[in-house]
């Protein structure tokens, strides 16, 4: 059973960089075929896709966030990470990591529990 777990600071100051890591267990991140995603949910609002990474390092980002987002992968640690720069209060959200089975499916079958990140001075 694949499990994903987000970790990182729960409080980030405005203009700084938000950094989160997702640790995958129960399967290898580099076993191929899967895309590893970040998705966020503003308080009381809907879901917003942030981007994907493939184990090879290929990335795909939401155009609305592309200029501020970097997703990277560390296959040796079975982790992938999110960096969001120049954050504002509008980036306060619960951040989820999730798995897309790949193969042109574009859905998310496993999710982390989510972590709340608050942007405030």
Partner 1 sequence: QSALTQPASVSGSPGQSITISCTGTSSDVGSYNLVSWYQQHPGKAPKLMIYEGSKRPSGVSNRFSGSKSGNTASLTISGLQAEDEADYYCCSYAGSSYVVFGGGTKLTVL
List residues near partner 1 by CB under 8 A.
Answer: 45-49, 52, 60, 62-64, 96, 104-109, 111-114
Nearer to partner 1, 16 or 48 (CB): 48
**Cβ of residue 110: shortest distance to partner 1, in angstroms?**
8
Nearer to partner 1, 29 or 38 (CB): 38
Nearer to partner 1, 17 or 113 (CB): 113
Contacts of 73 (CB under 8 A, 6+ apart): 29, 36, 53, 54, 55, 57, 79, 80, 81
**Cβ of residue 66: shortest distance to partner 1, in angstroms?**
10
**Cβ of residue 13: shortest distance to partner 1, in angstroms?**
26
Let me know how many helices (H) and strands (E) the chain has, helices first. 0, 11
Tell me 34's DSSP state.
Answer: -
Query: Angle at the Cα of 96 (from 116 to 41), degrees rounded to 5?
Result: 65
Residue that is written with structure tokens 């193969």 in the block: 103
- CA–CA distance, 28 with 63 (Å, rounded to integer): 29
Nearer to partner 1, 8 or 16 (CB): 8
**Cβ of residue 81: shortest distance to partner 1, in angstroms?**
19
């Amino acid at each position: 059973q694949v499990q994903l777990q987000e970790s990182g600071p729960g409080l980030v100051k405005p203009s700084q960089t938000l950094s989160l890591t997702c640790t995958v267990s129960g399967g290898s991140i580099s076993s191929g075929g899967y895309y590893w995603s970040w998705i966020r949910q503003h308080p009381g609002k809907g879901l917003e896709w942030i981007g994907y990474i493939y184990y090879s390092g290929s990335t795909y980002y939401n155009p609305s966030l592309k200029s501020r987002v970097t997703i990277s992968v560390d296959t040796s640690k079975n982790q992938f990470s999110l960096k969001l720069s120049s954050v504002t209060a509008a980036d306060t959200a619960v951040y989820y990591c999730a798995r897309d089975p790949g193969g042109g499916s574009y859905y998310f079958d496993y999710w982390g529990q989510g972590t709340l990140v608050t942007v405030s001075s």
